[in-house]
Structure 1
């Protein structure tokens, strides 16, 4: 690649209408050289492809173009649209179009770029690259910039990994979004209100490829690598929805600091009388988990043998339900501590007081499990420790006033949870 670049506006294009031959209009408006990159604003592509709607109901149109809401604040919606792009308002635009109309993005911007490239080559014999662009906001940064939403014949990414810098350091992470850099450079001469929708970037022949390529697919971060896939409230709702009982865990170890972050969320739960009635015992070693579970199993077997009709086979079936705890690489035992509880002389109010504290522990455990889901872990809250509290306290050497409230198995799920239909809240609501 050369060190010098030219970014040239392409003036003189007419107002674009449905059915316009963009490739021919651009080829007529500018003398192209082999290796040039044509940067075309998506709005004129949308107009040429008839992606204009006569309506003022932008909210309805945005909803129709949305696949997934990423974040919402007031009237602003960041969404993933039909093209797989994450952007404001699904790319639906009321600017640079007549009042009472809205422009949608091209149905397939990569296909649009390929069509323009093929038409230019047919008419001029020049091998050029083509980018279709649109305006995006960016996380953590103010201001808008143009990025590529469609590409043909352009190496959209340049991978520097494995190369060495001027100091001899091997580059391990650097992958440059060449297509987006070209889009932003071209926008400096196109502008937002200049009426110039096309620019040529000249001087980067190495960026232009012989084949059309895969378009912008490689620019879109895969879901599994996207740490910021949802906004804050959306991520919380997603974690609540995804949180469900997991019974099969992989052998991957659980990251202790992640559990402590979840405990930090747990202890924000509401509690009576400004108390802190929760304690969390973290069983991080296999030895501690085995000691607890063996002690509990012995207690369960002794109790069940005292019941009529319980033979060894039936006892084995019943106690096998606790195997989910043995299969988990990490256990959390939440405990109730009632210090700060009010003392009542009558049983009714004393029982209600304890229930208040018990409810608070339930809220804390829910917070814990939702936070762990956000960290990518699965959980199963099993109640078995509540049936042999003295045994648990002895096995874990807990204070006498710590009441074990079940055990939470934690680990990476072997399989992602199956989709679950959204539950209608109305059957559970009574209005007065």
Structure 2
């Protein structure tokens, strides 16, 4: 007999549970699993075991079967947001918050002409199975509901946890140290997904074995209030269920597919006039400029220049000079001093911004024409290219989560701007862009009827 070491090597065992019959709507899953687990020749269930249950049988028991010849319509009904689309394939966010292919709508392992939807409340389903097994067998086990997901950047599918009860689904190691004493500052282990994948190794995808039992990790399972000394010691994380594994939108760096990200950035691009005191990362602005200079331009030219006013001294010097020029113009136009003060205050958005960008048009490479008509058209082509560059800049800033406001004021005093900033004579300032972190979310944009802007011939 092999001796047992004084300090046993960590290990666990996992096996598929045979004998679970075909599940039908209204079936008591806990009773079906209890009967299968206590069949002759099987080890049964014990305190601290983890039960890994394929969500499809939960969907069947709960009647989440839809008669749908058109699977796409069922996917639409379960979708709250399309994350990415390539041909007929859609990665979507479900009403549960899961980001997955086809909203988890499955046409396999169900009768022809029907599809299976995910359980309405996977964590609630897991709790009911756990409570039923406690009532039937007197054991406290952890329950993990699993489903199959693809993963960004990785080929192949794996099972993950979509519902859980009585089991730790996240193991937060932050604040601890590794074997070399290095602090762990970002390590949160997806224990629920690791358990789900372990069960999938023995259940398989087509073996008719929808339940697996994992034994040997009782520290992950809630002890159900048993006396001290019995297996099972977990923290409060068991109460949250698998919903705690869904990353919040604000923390998700990869929330969108490529085309969806472009559309979202365009939608996010709003004029922001009030900014916080938080400094602007100059590297983020430079990344936005890199996007700006990809805009189309005539004659294979590069007619954009961007002056970045990163110091407060440079911003104040420019804005003071522009204000003096503006006030002089307004007085010459006959405005009263009170009216001038009001107009100047309305233009103070540039002063409230912690960062300014002055986009300039350089028409180097433009073609000379002797007649005014063609010369005007040539100039307009370059102006349009400058506008395209600024639009790219604004959208890219929105993608960097920076607010912006494009203000035209520098166009009314170009000589003053060139002189104050020491710019070449052929640089034409095309307004100024205030950049910063928005002090508040801008109001919702009023819906616009796209057809009102389209003429078809």
Tell whether the structures are fold-level matches, with TM greater than 0.5: yes
2:314 aligns with: 288
2:136 aligns with: 123
Matches within 5 A, 1:4-403: 4-30=11-37, 31-210=44-223, 213-308=239-334, 310-403=335-428
Task: Tell me the distance in 2 between the aligned counterparts of 1:419 and 1:216.
Answer: 33
1:411 alignment partner, one of 436, 441, 455: 436
2:233 aligns with: none
Task: Tell me the distance in 2 between the aligned counterparts of 1:302 and 1:32.
Answer: 87
CA contact (8 A) 1:10 1:199 kept: yes
SS in 2 for 1:144: strand
Residue 164 of structure 1, CA deviation = 1.6
Task: Tell me the distance in 2 between the aligned counterparts of 1:418 and 1:375.
Answer: 19
Moved more, 160-169 or 329-338: 160-169
Task: Tell me the distance in 1 between the aligned counterparts of 2:347 and 2:196.
Answer: 58
CA contact (8 A) 2:292 2:393 kept: yes
Residues 347-398 of structure 1, C-alpha deviations (whole Å, 9 max, x = no match)? 1111111000000000000000000100000110000000000000011100
Task: Tell me the distance in 1 between the aligned counterparts of 2:309 and 2:154.
Answer: 42
Task: Tell me the distance in 2 between the aligned counterparts of 1:355 and 1:385.
Answer: 18
Residue 95 of structure 1, CA deviation = 1.1
Residue 101 of structure 1, CA deviation = 1.1
The alpha-carbon distance between structure 1 residues 421 and 142, as it changes in their structure 2 partners (threshold 3 A), is farther
CA contact (8 A) 2:48 2:223 kept: no
Task: Tell me the distance in 2 between the aligned counterparts of 1:210 and 1:312.
Answer: 77
Task: Tell me the distance in 2 between the aligned counterparts of 1:145 and 1:167.
Answer: 32
CA contact (8 A) 1:242 1:417 kept: no
SS in 2 for 1:28: helix
Residue 56 of structure 1, CA deviation = 2.1
Residue 249 of structure 1, CA deviation = 0.6
Task: Tell me the distance in 2 between the aligned counterparts of 1:97 and 1:129.
Answer: 27
Residue 216 of structure 1, CA deviation = 1.3
CA contact (8 A) 1:259 1:372 kept: yes
SS in 2 for 1:213: helix
RMSD of the alignment, in Å?
1.1
SS in 2 for 1:134: strand
CA contact (8 A) 1:383 1:406 kept: yes
Residues 288-310 of structure 1, C-alpha deviations (whole Å, 9 max, x = no match)? 100100000000011111122x1
Task: Tell me the distance in 1 between the aligned counterparts of 2:190 and 2:9.
Answer: 18
Task: Tell me the distance in 2 between the aligned counterparts of 1:349 and 1:189.
Answer: 75
Task: Tell me the distance in 2 between the aligned counterparts of 1:424 and 1:240.
Answer: 17
Residue 122 of structure 1, CA deviation = 0.6
Task: Tell me the distance in 2 between the aligned counterparts of 1:74 and 1:417.
Answer: 34
Q: How many residues align structurally? A: 431
Task: Tell me the distance in 2 between the aligned counterparts of 1:307 and 1:263.
Answer: 37
CA contact (8 A) 2:101 2:149 kept: yes
CA contact (8 A) 1:381 1:406 kept: yes
CA contact (8 A) 1:2 1:203 kept: no
TM-score, length basis structure 1:
0.98
